[in-house]
Amino acid sequence: MKIGINATCYNETRSGGRQRFSKLYSILFRELKEHEFIIYAPKDCSIIEWFSKSSNLSQVITPLSSKNRVQRYLHGLTYWRNRLRHDKIDIYEAMHLPIITNREVLSVLTIHDIRYMNQTFAPLHSLIRYFYESQLNMVDHIITVSRTMKHELNKFAIKADISVIYNGIDLSMFNDISHSDTLAFRKKYDLFEKFVLTVGHLEKRKNFLLLIEAIKYCRDRGARVPLVIIGNDAGLLSKITGKIRDLGVQDLVKIMTNISDQELKIAYKAASAFVFPSKCEGFGIPVLEAMAAGLPLLLSNIDVFKEITEGHSLYHLLDDPRDLGQKLLEIMYLSHNAESKAIYNRERVSEFDFEQLGKDLVRLYEKLIDTAQRRIR
């Protein structure tokens, strides 16, 4: 079998999707040595370097840009049909929409979320919904990252089979972090000895504006809850900094952007608790990272977070800064059963080990290969 993987949405920018792809598909390529894999890379990044060299793996640099969705879509309308026919691909998996299909190729789509359907502008919402429905019902098989996301997709993808392969974590990621590392990190960035951490791109759905209001709520009641926000700007940085200034909590909130992977790991180990107030997620890799770091968790009460933590976390209301503030105080100063929760987190996060999830992906691909072979016959 010849299997093509469209990875043109990835580049050197750190993301949960990139981490998932590099970790899980390394295992897939390693285990299915008898099959040929082609990685289709964007013109601005050589992706094959993320994987161990193998005789069954090659790369095609496409004319598509990882950083320009419109260009990737418009050019892709003509590019993919010709490319897949030229390379005689049997199974084609895309890591993003849109997906181009034809009868000769078994099509697979990995989709992390459908947040773009949550548009408030009604005409745009209708257009995006139509786009998603047509695309999802065009593909033969869908891979998604949580049962919550599968439930959402089932509302639109009537024809496609859907499998869940969770996002994963490297359980050894914190093994090289020492106490002296955390002390040096706090000193370098002038951080409080105790602080609550949140991690994510600075965008509206992460709900950081509500979190800042909650920090003010705590301060107004005589409690200081220092907050560190780690994430790169995705359009909301100016609003967040403005909110911090307007509420007068500059001494309590610190934003850190473009830090290294190593410093991110140290930040988790230096923190006292983790908060993730997001309004919409397909999964939420920072939740796994915080669990692996042994931090108490305060999460928004969306279904996927309850799925990941099996209801064993502390949850807050999405749009209530008072509720969030009260629970910040609880997790920072009044945490009950902290040790039992830490034990649960360590046990639960072990179920998201990349090696185990990679085996799940291999088993799924063996079924897809069998289906493709029966088509050929």
- The CATH number given to whatever domain includes residue 53 is 3.40.50.2000
Quote the tokens at residue 233.
């700007």
Same domain, 118 and 245: no
Same domain, 56 and 143: yes
Same domain, 343 and 359: no
Q: What one-letter code names the amino acid at 53?
A: K
Same domain, 365 and 286: no
**Cα–Cα distance between 271 and 259 in angstroms, integer?**
16
* Highest mean pLDDT pick, 102-111, 148-157, 204-213: 204-213
Share of the chain above pLDDT 90, in %: 78
φ/ψ (deg, to 5) at 290: -65, -40
In the chain, how many domains are there? 2
Q: 57-61 and 141-144: which strand pairing?
A: unpaired
Same domain, 65 and 95: yes
Domain range for 213 = 179-351
Q: Residue 296's closest CA among 259, 354, 231, 346? A: 346
Same domain, 216 and 327: yes
Same domain, 297 and 359: no
**Mean of the per-residue pLDDT values of the chain:** 92
Contacts 24+ apart (CB under 8 A), 130-138: 131/97, 131/98, 132/97, 132/156, 133/157, 135/97, 135/98, 135/99, 135/109, 136/109, 136/111, 136/160, 138/99, 138/101, 138/107
pTM of the predicted protein model:
0.91
**Cα–Cα distance between 105 and 92 in angstroms, integer?**
7
Q: Which helix (H) or strand (E) holds 372?
A: helix 354-376
pLDDT in tens, 267-322: 999 999 999 999 999 999 999 999 999 999 999 999 999 999 999 999 999 999 99
56-65, 72-81, 243-252: segment of lowest average pLDDT: 72-81
Q: How far lies 14's CA from each of 176, 194, 260, 287, in Å?
A: 20, 27, 10, 16
Same domain, 148 and 184: no
